Structure formats: C-alpha cells, structure tokens
Amino acid sequence: MALLETIQSPADLKKLSVDQLGVVAQEIREAIFQQVSKVGGHLAPNLGVVELTLALHYVFDFAHDRLLFDVGHQCYPHKLVTGRLPMLANLRTRQGMAGFPEPRESPYDLFSVGHAGTGISTAVGMARGDTLNGQGFDSASNPKGRRVVSIIGDASIVNGVAMEGLNGAGTLKRQFLVILNDNGMSIAKPQGALAQYFDRLRINPLYTGMKRRAREVLESLPGGSLVEEAYHRMGEAVKGAVAENAWFEHFGLLTVGPIDGHDLPLLIEFLAEARDFDRPLVLHVKTVKGKGYAFAEGDSTKFHSPNSFTYDPDSCRVEIKKDGRSFTSAWGEAMTEIMRRDPKVVACTAAMPGGTGMDKVAATFPERSFDTGICESHAMDMMAGLAKTGWKPYFAVYSTFLQRAFDQAFQEVSLQGLAVRLCLDRAGLVGGDGAVHHGFCDISILRVLPKAALMAAMDEASMIAAMEFQRTYDDGLSAVRYPRDNCSTRFADRPCPPFELGKARPLIEHAEPDVAILAFGVMAISACEAADAVGPEVRASVYDARFAKPVDTALIRSLLDRRIPIITIEDHGPHGGFGAAVLEAAADMNLDASRVVRMSLPDHWIYQDSRPKQLAEVGLDAPSIARQIRACADRWPIRGAHARAGGMVELRPAAAALRSDGRPATP
C-alpha cells in the first residue's frame, strides 16, 4: 500500500519519518499528475508546493491552528493530507474535490478562495479574533493557543490587498507567520517592479548561501525561541543576513530566507523555530512551479491549469486535448486584427495573458500590450489614463475578477466619460473552477454606470462585431461578455450584421409567434435549439438581444403591445441583469409586463462540475428552455392552441428574416 493511502489526517503524517515524507511527496505528485491529465485542473502550482505543504502540516496542528491560503489553486496537496484522497478521482466535480479550498468539504479549509491578495488580510482578522477570544497563541501566557499561518504565492504579493494585509499584519503583537511561496511566476511571468525585486534577490549571493545565512538568524536567537527581547536586540550583522528582504521589515515584519522550498528537513527545521515566534514573521521560500515534471517546469504557464492531456514518458511529448475553437482563442485573433487596423488601440490584461488570449496579441504588438500582474484595480486605472491621453484601451479580464476593479470603473472611467473597453472572459458558469470563478454579476455591477454599453457575444462573429462596435464607441465604458466555452458554428455560414446601440438581432422569426425569446449572449444558441425542439407545435421567435444596456425598447414594445409572451434568458444572476433590464424598460414605457418570464442563474451558489451539467442543473440548457417555451404557450394559449390544432406554422431562419442592412425583413 502506498504511504499516501495510509494518511487519513495530518495526525497520520506526523507518525512518519522525514525520509518517509519524501516518499509521500513523490506519491502526491504522481496522484495529482495522473488525475489532472485525465480531467484538467491546476497542475504546475500544486506540484510546486508539495514539500512546503507537508512540512507545514508536519510542524503545525491545523485542526487547531489556522492555515489560510491566498491563491487557492495551490491547495491540492493540502487536501490530500487532510483526508480527501478518495475525492481526487472526481476532481472539480460535484461528487469530488473542489479545485479551490472549500469549507463545505473539510474544517481544514477556512475560506473558499479563488481570488488573489486576500489571504493575509483574512489571516490578520482571524489572529485578532482568536486573541479577543482568549485563544491566541502566546509562548508565555497561552502556549496552547491557536497559531496563524498565511501562505501567499504565484506573485499575488503584488496585489494591492496583499499590501494592505501586510500593513495590518505589522501591527500585530502576537505570533503571525506569512509564508511567501516565491516560485518566480504568477499565472504567467510576474510583472512590475516588485517582481523585478524578487528576481534580483534570487540571483543575489545571499540566495546561494541561503541555508547558512537564514540559519544564522535563527541561531542568534536564544534557544530558537524568538521572544520580544531577541527581536529587538538583533544587531546589524544578523539583519544583514536578510538585508535584501528589508522591504518587508518596513511593514514591521521580520523576514527570514529565502530558503529552499523543496528541502523537507530544512523546511521542517525553520518552521519548527518560526512556530513560536511572538511577532509577525515572513518566511521567504523559493520553490519551482511544476516541480517534478520537466515539461511543467519548462512551461509552467501552459501547464498552470491545462485541459486534460496525454503524456508519453519515452518521448516526453505532451499533448493537451482540444475540442473546438474557444472564445478566448477567437478573441486573441480578433484583438490582433483590430490593433493591426487601428494604431491607436492598446490592450491589457491582469496576469492572464494565456487565459484571455492576450499572449497572442502581445506577440504581435508588444509595445501596445500590457500585463499588470494580479492588479485589476491598477489595470483599470491605467486604462483610464491611456484613454485620457487619446488611446483606445481594451482590458481583457475574467468576469469574476472584474468586481475587484469596480471602484475604478466607476470613478476613473465612467465618471470621467472615458471610453475603456472591457472584454469579459469566463462570463456565466465556468465549470470545474466552481463558485469562486462564476461570472454572474458583471451586468448588474456595470449597468448602474451612465452611458455604459453592455453587450454579449453568442458566437465568434458576434464577438468580433461587438469588439468593432467598442472601437468606435466613445461615449463611455463598454463591455462584451463571453463564456469559457467553444464558439458555436450554427450561424457561421450567415453574415453577422454590425452591432447597433440598443438593437437586437432576430435569429428565428415568425410573423405571429406564440412566444418570443430574448436571449443574451450564448443563451441565444441554446434558445434556437429549444425553438427547434418545440416547433412546429409552438411558434417560438428567437432574438439575440446583444445589449443589456440599452435594451431594444422598440422590440419589447412591439411584442408586449401584441400580447406576445417574452422569455428572457441569461447566464447571469437574477438581480440587475438582462431580464431585470427588460422589466424596467417595460415599466418605463407603461407596458404590461405580466407576460415577461425571466430565466437566469438562481440566487444561490453553484458548485464545481462540468459547464453542461451546471447549465442543466440551473435550467438553462436547451431542454429546460423548451419546457419553459411550452409552459408559456400553455399559460397564454391563444396562438399556441391554433398551432396545436393544426394551423400553419412557419419557421424562418435568420438569413431569410434579415435584409442586407441587418434589420428585420417584412414578414
């Protein structure tokens, strides 16, 4: 039996020798590699923290002490030694292990986290809370109290919230350990002056002698117990061992390291000493992202979170599964073409060049492409500055990370009347990444901004058309959203009309429909499939709504004046989204909206699984939409009854229903 299979909790880990921990480390890497190769997931970041995770659980008791992750995608080894090995076989599904820390799974996970920069601040809060409760560790007065450890990595230390957390941590008068997992990488290559600082540190002679120099710090402290007197008495000679890390000391945090994050005996030795330090401490640990697999070490960006892949150990050949053309790939090519045509266009991302398609753009236009690192707020402000100086900025950002920059979208962009163009990848349900990454509120948070133009793409052609609309829209902020999915080819052989502000596009149109579907983004494709399924029993017209702000008021008035039921569909939350905008428009026009039925994401959290399963779960797949169409026809049965009695039904595809200018033809 493998050693890993014998570990039901960290208590079992503590029974092993340090040499046996090395065996467990290899077994953890193999287990993660095998499962991620089958289903996809975060590979390189987890391979890099195996020894660090084992050492932390070997030294601390996190059934009692506090362990808080900053970048949650480094949690797989932690989960495997806290009793969740049986859940690995169903990684990133509802039946198995979530890809991020998840308190519903285990008391060892304190927060469900997928956004960077937050771990230090929440750890400071728990440290203060434990102290106020009389449960905080103190070597003299409460040696059995709770210790607090926050692990931060993948360059999220550059995030503004992390800086605020460090500032707060420096005011603590108790044990508080920050583990800086420095792997020289973010999701991609880290950006900015702080990243360059750590690059210099890694090539400094200090790093070459890291074991000796860091040990000097600890040996200078009586008995290894880092008490207040020793903390204040350390001389300049000892501080010189960490002089290159003096940056952290400006926050009031003593810093030790860097030390080798793959040397288990060394990690255990240092953590055992740091465990009882009565003041805030940073332990700088150097790790290799993708450790243990040469292909992942060599391209840790590509293997940060790959799809399933095959690996031939003989040839060392790795082939990642591809099952279609993704919106992300299509965006990268479209953005490159826009920049080729318009020399005033610039583009930016926040640490997600591969995830957004910006890597393709930067390869062609490096001088007009920017990666700010994990700094969405800074990126939005920088785009505002570029807009103010006459450029046309596009900001490619995951929908789930947009809310981190809302203040800047309001204050520096919208209030100033600046045209910043947002491209919201991973909108709607994201599949295996689960609740921490769903893009369910981008419409509602942006719709409050005056003159914002909010769009969604249903396929590649409509995304290109929306981006072209953005290029010439100068009245304010604009946004186009699209999912983590492949582009539909249903309408690939038909011309895509240009986007016109506040105008929908008919896809399937009847002269006198039983039901009209106004679908936002890719939900239009599912609505067409549903309309196919119910016809000719029910005549369902389908419109690609295109805009959530402003909505197509002329179309809404026409349908409601004729008492035609409207179904709005969106892969977004129910509050403040597209459906809410349709209801508000009807109310503003004094129209009877009693025949408007909204379909949206539910008002509760949706956990990890495949995107198709999630859509079916929340009733946004084609069969669920078809059931709603029939229900509406039954509820308001005048035209539906005629159709079911054998009346003529005409289903006309979009190409036959459009004039050359893209507007509806006369029925």
pLDDT of residue 84: 96
pLDDT digits (tens, 9 = 90+) for 127-138: 999 999 999 999
Superfamily of domain 57-286: Thiamin diphosphate (ThDP)-binding fold, Pyr/PP domains (3.40.50.970)
Question: What are the distances in angstroms from CA 49 to CA 46, 55, 186?
Answer: 6, 10, 14
H or E element at residue 52: helix 50-59
- Omega cis (within 30) before 664: no
pLDDT tens sequence across 382-420: 999 999 999 999 999 999 999 999 999 999 999 999 999
Residue ranges matching CATH 3.40.50.970 in the chain: 57-286, 327-481
The per-residue pLDDT of the chain, averaged, comes to 87
Where are any strands of DSSP class E within 511-595? 515-519, 540-544, 547-549, 566-569
Q: Which amino acid is at 215?
A: R
Residue-wise pLDDT for 442-487, tens only, equals 999 999 999 999 999 999 999 999 999 999 999 999 999 999 999 9
Q: How many residues does the chain have?
A: 667
DSSP secondary structure letter of residue 487: P
Just give the CATH number of 327-481.
3.40.50.970
Question: SS3 helix, strand, coil % of the chain, rounded to 5?
Answer: 45, 15, 40
Q: What is the mean pLDDT of residues 363-372?
A: 96
pLDDT band of 637, cuts 50, 70, 90: confident
Rounded Cα distance, 466 and 662, in Å:
14
pLDDT at site 157: 84
Q: Which of 178-182, 184-188, 258-262, 343-347 has the highest mean pLDDT?
A: 343-347
CATH of domain 505-657: 3.40.50.920
Residues 6+ apart with CB under 8 A from 182: 153, 198, 202, 258, 284, 285, 286, 287
pLDDT exceeds 90 at position 198: no
Could you tell me where in the chain the CATH 3.40.50.920 domains are found?
Answer: 505-657
Q: 642: how many CB neighbours lie within 10 A of its CB?
A: 15
For residue 543, give the nearest of 640, 615, 639, 462 by alpha carbon. Answer: 462
- Band of pLDDT at residue 660, cut at 50, 70 and 90: very low
Q: Residue 513 pLDDT > 70, yes or no? A: yes
The beta strands (E) that lie in 63-189 are given as 66-69, 148-153, 176-182
Cα separation, 383 vs 350, in Å, equals 12
% of the chain with per-residue pLDDT over 70: 86
Residues forming the active site: 289, 376, 404
- Does position 247 have pLDDT exceeding 90, yes or no? no
Q: For residue 248, what are its two tokens?
A: 């952290």
| Predicted local confidence at residue 562, as pLDDT | 95
Could you write out the three-class secondary structure of 466-482?
Answer: HHHHHHHCCCCCEEEEC
At 159 the pLDDT is: 86
Full DSSP string of 200-235: HHHHSHHHHTHHHHHHHHHHTSGGG---HHHHHH--
- The burial class, CB within 10 Å (0-12 / 13-18 / 19+), for 48 is buried
pLDDT at 151 over 50: yes
pLDDT at 625: 98
8-state DSSP, 92: T
Distance of CA 486 to the CA centre of its chain: 18
User: Helix 160-169 and helix 119-132: axis angle, to 10°?
Assistant: 30
Nearest in space to 136 (alpha carbons), one of 176, 179, 177, 178: 176
Instruction: Please state the three-class secondary structure of 488-530 as a single string.
Output: CCCCCCCCCCCCCCCCCEEEEECCCCCEEEEECCCHHHHHHHH
